[in-house]
């Protein structure tokens, strides 16, 4: 699940996520991260992935565009690292792909 809110403060998202967990589903929620929050967490069986983005109520479009673009660049950087680890594993260590 993806939400532009703080998981702990959004009862709609929490109810839906916890209902899915109760039904036996694995649930990951990607939401905003407040200062002082851990980047990862587990609440009532729901795995949280907190993105280092603040909520800016009433902010201008420029604020949201800047945050979106910084998130995209972080995703690309993370994917690049993952690709490099795969290359090292297959070519350098001779491990099978998969």
8-53 pLDDT, tens digit per residue, is 999 999 999 999 999 999 999 988 888 899 999 999 999 999 888 7
List the alpha helices (DSSP H) in 1-98.
11-22, 61-87
CA distance 78 to 88: 16
CA distance 40 to 46: 11
pTM: 0.58
Give the whole-number percent of the chain exceeding pLDDT 70.
Answer: 71
**Maximal CA-CA distance, the chain:** 53
Strand partners, 48: 29, 41
CA distance 55 to 29: 16
* Predicted local confidence at residue 19, as pLDDT: 96
């Amino acid at each position: 699940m993806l939400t532009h809110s703080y998981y702990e403060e959004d009862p709609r998202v929490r109810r839906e996520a916890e209902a899915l967990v109760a039904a036996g589903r694995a649930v990951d929620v990607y939401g905003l991260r407040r200062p002082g929050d851990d980047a990862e967490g587990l609440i009532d069986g729901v795995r949280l992935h907190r993105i280092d983005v603040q909520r800016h109520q009433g902010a201008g479009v420029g604020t949201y565009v800047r945050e979106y673009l910084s998130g995209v660049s972080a995703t690309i950087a993370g994917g690049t690292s993952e690709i490099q680890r795969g290359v090292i594993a297959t070519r350098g260590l001779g491990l099978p792909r998969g």
